Structure 1
Amino acid sequence: MPVTLHVWRVPGRRVGAAMLRIPLSWLTVKNVRFAKFLGTGTGTSFGPGDADLTRYAAVTVSDDPIELPGWDRLAVARARVDLTPLTSRGTWSGRKPFGDPKPGRSDGMVLALTRARLRPRAALTFWRAVPPVARELHAAPGLLARFGMGEAPIGWQGTVSVWRDAADLTRFAYRQPEHRAVIARTPAARWYAEELFARFAVDRITGDRAVLGWLEEGQTEV
């Protein structure tokens, strides 16, 4: 089931047009099994101040490659990441967009996607828990790129991170103390009304990888 992450950087003068295009994109995209058009942020706090109004993203699932020329015309830079699902747990808008892939392995780069809809009464405690994890993530060995994403400025949020290999992602997820603490706290805190975690093999990256938040120390040929 081909999955594609599309990311665009738009100039400041086109921010209004890009924000308007998010709800209108459904009128132009065809032959998709699943699609979400998203705003983005740095991924450091997940509050309104984290938003990056010049970067936008889409996640599409389709049988054939999807082109989004309207977004391409708005952008001054863009990147496309073609993905194969390795694992997927949870739902997104009540659906399992990436199916139920049999647990797979990848010998190359992997991408982790998380998405959650926060319970309003739990949002404040969640936001307080995020900064230490974000700092830990930024310094994690093997991290190549990361950014936040969301369907709304508050409460409908997620992350995208690209890793040199699956082992680096696993070490961060289960051995970094701040991240482990958040995982352990999640069931009791009941932060999420809905959540999804998926891991993908990165088949190809095309375009300007800086749009993905590529980290200078992690640059490699892709």
Structure 2
Amino acid sequence: MASFHLIRYAGLDAMRHMAFDRPVLRGTGGLRFWRLLGTGKGRSMSLGADLRRWAMFAVWDGEPALERFLERSPVAARWREDSAEAWHVRLAPLCSRGGWGGADPLAAAAAAPRAAPSGPVAVLTRASIRPRRLVRFYRSVPDVDRLLRRQDGCLASVGAGEWPLARQATFSLWEGAPAVERFAYRTSAHREVIGRVRREGWYSEELFARFVPFGSQGTWDGHDPLRPVRA
């Protein structure tokens, strides 16, 4: 299983926490894969960064490993004590393709075929952008961002990155699989960008994954974006 955590700190010392958290995470039992991520402002994957808001994506041996981390890790304790806002969600992988750091961290978890979910879907995309394609990539972002903000069925989204400019990711929540399909394949701006990505070879590595989100806790911009879907 996987998890996603979005933390907004009260002050600007979050970068120090990020540096100190890395050795702790390396020694965390049951944690197969993790990435600490800076975030853009609002929903955007633009050049602007929100220095108070940070994220972590993680893959675990199982839910007990995540529970131990949340209960005992000093990283999770700092999230509770030092954050102005925090949101956590557990993720059951549905499908995954591509790589992150040379391998697909979800390959084993997403190997078994699953029925299409009838409820909310979470989507993670990430890419390593070739340096010579950075300008084209960031010129394409505003049109897709505007489309995403207007898109029916998108509950929440955030742009993130593990390395300034060139290693970017998005995490988004949707009312269901049909809403994801409409955005991915039936909107001209998004189709055009995907076509250019393939034709012009923008990425040296990319990953696309879908999940069933469950067990969410806390708030994201003042509310839990999954709660209205469950009500």
TM-score normalised to the size of structure 2? Answer: 0.85
Q: How does 1:30-179 map to 2 (within 5 A)?
A: 30-42=29-41, 43-47=43-47, 49=48, 51-62=49-60, 63=62, 64-65=65-66, 66-67=69-70, 68-99=76-107, 100-101=110-111, 102=113, 104-179=115-190
| Structure 1 consecutive aligned stretches of length 4 or more whose deviation exceeds 6 Å | none
Compared with structure 1, are the counterparts of its residues 76 and 24 closer, same or farther at alpha carbon in structure 2 (3 Å cutoff)?
farther
Give 3-state SS (helix, strand or coil) of 1:12's partner: coil
The alignment's C-alpha RMSD in Å is 2.2
User: 1:31 is matched by which residue type in structure 2?
Assistant: G
Most deviating of 54-63 and 6-15: 6-15
CA contact 1:110–1:199 (8 Å) conserved in 2: yes
Q: Which runs of 5+ in 1 are unaligned?
A: none
Partner of 2:73: none
User: 2:179 is matched by which residue type in structure 1?
Assistant: D
Residues 135-163 of structure 1: CA deviation (Å, up to 9, x unaligned) = 00110001100011110121010101100
TM-score normalised to the size of structure 1? Answer: 0.88
CA contact 2:45–2:159 (8 Å) conserved in 1: no
Q: Which runs of 5+ in 2 are unaligned?
A: 71-75
Distance 1:113 1:137 in 2: 14
Identity %: 35
User: 2:185 is matched by which residue type in structure 1?
Assistant: Y
Residues 93-147 of structure 1: CA deviation (Å, up to 9, x unaligned) = 1121111432541111101100000000111011111110110011000110001
Aligned-residue offset at 1:204: 2.3
